[in-house]
């Protein structure tokens, strides 16, 4: 693989169709996320512009959030053949919103009005009666060229007005992505924050007994759907991380010779070694521009941080300590690096300039701090904390202030932020349990939820938004 | 509390004895079963290790040393084992070998990789100081990925904090 193929693959709308299993069969139809539904022109009587100051709005910066009651009747099939897909899309949207903890989809059995079209204004009193605050209506229609058209409208039931309306075109096998994109649009319009449903997670799938665990790289949608395996399990793989383009991952594997950091193109399946270091290289992570990989390199008893430019292949040493420096992660603007180091005796979190230089310790709570990861918006660093033989996931501000433990137990490790920075995924092992699973929790410590995976799972890394 | 598990508190001597006893018990059991099942064919059942064989190294020298929590320091017990190892390795110098460094599960993934490497390196340096040629050895860290004991308590964790000499069978 060369850097040209990276740039080519990361350009344009092809990202939407990433499918490493059958790359040759992948259609290349574009899917626009921002195409505003042109119903205003098609149906003039529906000129219900969304005014500022809508009543329905969820302030998720508040401490105690009541999930917003939302009605999501099944989308209408434009033709009879579309009915099944329309129902599936509706279910995925509803599940996304429910799992966020911010929405409470209303049982469809309570609905009074049957939505038969998206082209007319719903009967708001019917929806107010069942205490819905928001209503989503939508339609899926197979086009003459085989594409799928998805339309939806988000209604403010209390104010009796439209909040959003958009349409999207894609290939039918992309129906799940359409659902996630619509769920993101609803989430964004109601909360004012960016969404995160149209994203993926790369993780390590674990099978077999603990003393002979087989680990495979796997990728799935953030809701656990569409699991695909990227390696066969014949070699040990650890700590996969997404590139910003979502086309590549970097990870550590035990192949021939020393265990090292690799780069894998998930569309083509091509892989290459990152850097030509003597000894073990590990704990890789991409820079925010995707042009560099930062990692640890073992040097005798010590481990230091290095960065490699993926185009020039030039490597630069960033630290030179008689200690273990590892788990590096860039700030989203690329100017700083957080990492863990035991230079002070036991592992703590440090921040230093991205080019190296003096490092400031930022973790000063009780216990050992490790696996720091910077939030996409830059406001928090999440970490694993070990204290009194418990493992916790927490967040602190990049200056070390405002520390907050989100969950604590026998073993919680390896946080990764959702693209909007509001949710963290990590892996958890119960005491005496057979193996780890993935969980999500929001950055206030609410809404602790298991993520479905086919078997044991660890080392999750959340992708950026796919579009 | 510790990075890769709490120390048992009884020190490494007790742990080694327990392990040794367990190992002996397994061998005896194996012989008894074999003795019942097979009366004629005893090939492959040589419990008494041939001097200079990998089995000899395993049974009569010991292939591993143990470490305290989040430590790569060598205990007296570990030094004694390494002294025997270096003597054996110097005598049977046809063997190349790998030093595997391991950590227990009570640490985070990346740090444990580095900690395992540090433990393997400590053993490497010690063996070199006892005259074993550095050319014959390579090191590898498995972090917490290859536990030998999985019972989720302190006694198990201490068995996993180890460095193991694996002889290259082809050498």
How is A288-325 classified by DSSP, letter by letter? TTSSEEEEEEEETTEEEEEEEETTT--EEE----SSBE
- Quickly state the pLDDT bin for A277 (edges 50, 70, 90): confident
The predicted pLDDT at position B157 comes to 82
pLDDT at A79 over 70: yes
The predicted pLDDT at position A341 comes to 98
Residue that the structure tokens 């005796």 belong to: A345
3-state secondary structure of A17: helix
Contact (Cβ atoms closer than 8 angstroms) between residue B127 and residue B86: yes
The predicted pLDDT at position B154 comes to 66
- The ranges assigned to domains in chain B are 11-167
pLDDT at A447 over 60: yes
Token couple for A62: 């508040």
- Cβ of A371 within 8 Å of Cβ of B106? The answer is no
Stronger pLDDT, A357 or A38, i.e. the higher one: A357
Residue that the structure tokens 């190349």 belong to: B96
The predicted pLDDT at position B19 comes to 37
> β-strand A68-71 against A134-142: which pairing, if any?
parallel
- Quickly state the pLDDT bin for A25 (edges 50, 70, 90): very low
Looking at the DSSP bridge assignments, the partners of residue A385 are A369, A392
Arithmetic mean of pLDDT, A314-322: 96
pLDDT at B22 over 60: no
What share of chain B has pLDDT > 70, as a percent? 70
Q: Which domain holds residue A40?
A: 34-191
User: Mind telling me how many Å the CA of A61 is from chain B's nearest CA?
Assistant: 31
DSSP state of A409: E
pLDDT at A41 over 50: no
- Quickly state the pLDDT bin for A63 (edges 50, 70, 90): low
Residues A418 and A331 in one domain: yes
- CA angle (B35, B40, B41) in 5-degree steps: 85
Residues A183 and A206 in one domain: no
List helix spans (H) across A11-148. 39-42, 83-99, 124-129
- Cβ of B110 within 8 Å of Cβ of A346? The answer is no
Which residue, of A191, A220, A247, is where some domain finishes? A191
Using CA of residue A413, residue A414, residue A418, residue A422, what is the dihedral sign?
positive
Contact (Cβ atoms closer than 8 angstroms) between residue A255 and residue A272: no
Q: Is residue A6 domain-resident?
A: no
Least confident range of A150-154, A209-213, B5-9, B115-119: B5-9
Strand boundaries in B57-125, DSSP class E = 64-66, 97-102
3-state secondary structure of A268: coil
Residues A94 and A227 in one domain: no
Q: Is residue A25 domain-resident?
A: no
Residues A117 and A258 in one domain: no
- What does the alpha-carbon distance between residue A394 and residue A382 come to, in Å, rounded to a whole number? 6
Cβ burial A137-152 (10 Å sphere, 16+ → b, else e): bbbbbbeeeebbbbbb
- What does the alpha-carbon distance between residue A267 and residue A294 come to, in Å, rounded to a whole number? 23
- Cβ of A211 within 8 Å of Cβ of B152? The answer is no
Q: Which residues of B touch A458 (CB under 8 A)?
A: 109
Residues A169 and A266 in one domain: no
What share of chain A has pLDDT > 90, as a percent? 80
Token couple for B4: 């890769």
The predicted pLDDT at position A53 comes to 46
Q: For chain B, say whether A304 makes contact (Cβ under 8 Å).
A: no
Tell me which residues of chain A, numbers 416 to 455, contact chain B at a CB-CB cutoff of 8 Å: 429, 431-432
DSSP state of A345: S
Could you tell me which residues come within 8 angstroms of residue A401 by beta carbon, excluding any fewer than 6 positions away? none
Which residue, of A135, A162, A191, is where some domain finishes? A191
The predicted pLDDT at position A276 comes to 80
The predicted pLDDT at position B126 comes to 98
The predicted pLDDT at position B149 comes to 76
Closest partner CB to B109 (pick from A386, A413, A432): A413
Comparing CA positions, the residue from A343, A290, A283, A284 lying closest to residue A319 is: A343
User: Mind telling me how many Å the CA of B79 is from chain A's nearest CA?
Assistant: 18
pLDDT at B15 over 50: no
Residues A58 and A205 in one domain: no
- Rg for chain B, CA atoms, rounded: 17
* Whole-Å CA distances, A163 to A94, A177, A256: 18, 21, 56
- Quickly state the pLDDT bin for B152 (edges 50, 70, 90): low
The domain tally of chain A equals: 2
Which residue, of A171, A191, A211, is where some domain finishes? A191
* Whole-Å CA distances, B4 to A53, A191, A368, B1, B118: 54, 42, 11, 9, 14
User: Mind telling me how many Å the CA of B1 is from chain A's nearest CA?
Assistant: 5
- What does the alpha-carbon distance between residue A222 and residue A246 come to, in Å, rounded to a whole number? 13
Q: For chain A, say whether B146 makes contact (Cβ under 8 Å).
A: yes
Report the 10 Å Cβ neighbour count for B25. 10
Residues A301 and A389 in one domain: yes
Q: For chain B, say whether A281 makes contact (Cβ under 8 Å).
A: no
Domain harbouring A114, CATH code: 3.40.50.10070
- Quickly state the pLDDT bin for A62 (edges 50, 70, 90): low
Arithmetic mean of pLDDT, A318-326: 97
Report the 10 Å Cβ neighbour count for A403. 17
Residue that the structure tokens 């000129």 belong to: A47
Instruction: Write the CATH number of the domain with boundaries B11-167.
Output: 3.30.1330.60
Least confident range of A253-257, A268-272, A436-440, B39-43: B39-43
The predicted pLDDT at position A30 comes to 36
Looking at the DSSP bridge assignments, the partners of residue A408 are A392
Residue of chain B nearest A254, judged by CA positions? B142
The ipTM estimated for the assembled molecules is 0.87
User: Mind telling me how many Å the CA of B50 is from chain A's nearest CA?
Assistant: 29
- What does the alpha-carbon distance between residue A167 and residue A30 come to, in Å, rounded to a whole number? 13
pLDDT at B63 over 50: yes
3-state secondary structure of A251: strand
Helix, strand, coil percent content, chain B, rounded in steps of 5: 50, 15, 40
Q: How far is CA A51 from the centre of its chain?
A: 31
Contact (Cβ atoms closer than 8 angstroms) between residue B61 and residue B23: no
Q: Which residues of A touch B126 (CB under 8 A)?
A: none
Contact (Cβ atoms closer than 8 angstroms) between residue A466 and residue A184: no
Residues A88 and A107 in one domain: yes
Arithmetic mean of pLDDT, A201-207: 98
Residue of chain B nearest A304, judged by CA positions? B114
- What does the alpha-carbon distance between residue A418 and residue A395 come to, in Å, rounded to a whole number? 14
Residues A158 and A231 in one domain: no
DSSP state of A36: B
The whole-chain average pLDDT of chain A stands at 88
Contact (Cβ atoms closer than 8 angstroms) between residue B137 and residue B96: yes
Q: Which residues of A touch B122 (CB under 8 A)?
A: 301
The predicted pLDDT at position A29 comes to 34
User: Mind telling me how many Å the CA of B149 is from chain A's nearest CA?
Assistant: 7
User: Mind telling me how many Å the CA of B111 is from chain A's nearest CA?
Assistant: 7
Q: Which residues of B touch A296 (CB under 8 A)?
A: 110, 114
- Cβ of B1 within 8 Å of Cβ of A459? The answer is no
The predicted pLDDT at position A432 comes to 85
Contact (Cβ atoms closer than 8 angstroms) between residue A407 and residue A424: no
- What does the alpha-carbon distance between residue A134 and residue A103 come to, in Å, rounded to a whole number? 10
Q: For chain B, say whether A342 makes contact (Cβ under 8 Å).
A: yes
């Amino acid at each position: 693989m060369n850097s040209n193929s990276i740039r080519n693959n990361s350009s344009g709308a092809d990202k939407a169709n990433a499918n490493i299993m059958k790359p040759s069969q992948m259609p290349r139809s574009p899917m626009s996320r921002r195409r505003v539904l042109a119903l205003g022109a098609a149906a003039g009587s529906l000129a219900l512009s969304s005014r500022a100051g809508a009543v329905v709005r969820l302030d998720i910066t508040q401490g105690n959030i009541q999930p917003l009651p939302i009605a999501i009747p099944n989308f209408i099939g434009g033709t009879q053949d579309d009915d099944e897909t329309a129902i599936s899309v509706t279910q995925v949207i509803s599940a996304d919103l429910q799992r966020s903890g911010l929405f409470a989809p209303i049982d469809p059995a309570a609905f009074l009005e049957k939505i038969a079209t998206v082209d007319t204004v719903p009967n708001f009193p019917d929806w107010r009666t069942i205490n819905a605050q928001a209503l989503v209506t939508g339609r899926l229609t197979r086009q003459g060229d085989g594409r799928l058209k998805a339309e939806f409208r988000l209604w403010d039931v209390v104010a009796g007005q439209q909040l959003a309306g958009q349409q999207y075109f894609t290939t039918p096998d992309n129906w799940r992505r359409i659902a996630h994109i619509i769920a993101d649009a609803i989430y964004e319009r109601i909360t004012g924050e960016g969404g995160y449903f149209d994203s993926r997670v790369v993780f390590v799938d674990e099978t077999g007994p603990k003393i002979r665990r087989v680990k495979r790289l796997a990728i799935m949608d953030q809701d656990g759907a569409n699991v695909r395996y990227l390696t066969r399990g014949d070699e040990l793989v650890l700590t996969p991380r997404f590139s910003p383009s979502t086309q590549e991952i970097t990870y550590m594997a035990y192949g021939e010779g020393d265990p090292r950091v690799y780069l894998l193109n998930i569309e083509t399946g091509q892989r290459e070694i990152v850097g030509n270091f003597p000894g073990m290289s590990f704990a890789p992570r991409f820079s925010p521009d995707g042009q560099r990989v930062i990692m640890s390199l073992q040097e005798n008893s010590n481990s230091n941080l290095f960065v490699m430019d993926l185009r020039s292949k030039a490597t630069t040493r960033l630290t030179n300590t008689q200690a273990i420096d590892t788990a590096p992660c860039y700030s989203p603007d690329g100017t700083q690096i957080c990492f863990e180091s035991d230079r002070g005796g036991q592992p703590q979190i440090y921040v230093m300039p991205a080019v190296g230089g003096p490092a400031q310790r930022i973790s000063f709570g009780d216990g050992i701090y490790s696996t720091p990861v910077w939030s996409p918006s830059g406001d928090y660093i999440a970490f694993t904390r070990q204290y009194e033989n418990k493992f916790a996931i927490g967040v602190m501000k990049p200056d070390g202030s405002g520390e907050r433990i989100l969950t604590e137990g026998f073993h919680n490790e390896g946080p990764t932020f959702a693209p909007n920075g509001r949710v963290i995924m990590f892996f958890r092992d119960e005491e005496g349990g057979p193996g780890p699973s993935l969980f999500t929790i929001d950055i206030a410590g609410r809404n602790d939820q298991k993520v479905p995976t086919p078997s044991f799972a660890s080392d999750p890394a959340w992708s950026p938004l796919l579009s | 509390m510790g990075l890769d598990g709490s120390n048992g508190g009884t020190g490494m001597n007790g742990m080694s004895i327990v392990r040794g006893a367990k190992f002996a018990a397994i061998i005896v059991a194996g012989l008894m079963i074999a003795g019942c099942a097979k009366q004629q064919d005893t090939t492959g059942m040589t419990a008494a290790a041939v001097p200079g064989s990998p089995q000899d190294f395993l049974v009569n020298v010991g292939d591993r040393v143990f470490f305290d929590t989040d430590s790569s320091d060598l205990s007296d017990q570990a030094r004694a084992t390494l002294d025997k190892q270096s003597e054996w390795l110097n005598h049977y110098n046809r063997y190349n070998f790998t030093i595997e460094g391991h950590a227990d599960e009570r640490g985070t993934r990346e740090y444990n990789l580095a900690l395992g490497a540090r433990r393997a390196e400590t053993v490497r340096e010690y063996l070199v100081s006892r005259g074993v040629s550095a050319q014959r050895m390579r090191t590898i860290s498995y972090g917490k990925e290859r536990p030998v004991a999985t019972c989720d308590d302190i006694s198990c964790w201490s068995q996993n904090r180890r460095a193991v000499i694996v002889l290259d069978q082809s050498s």
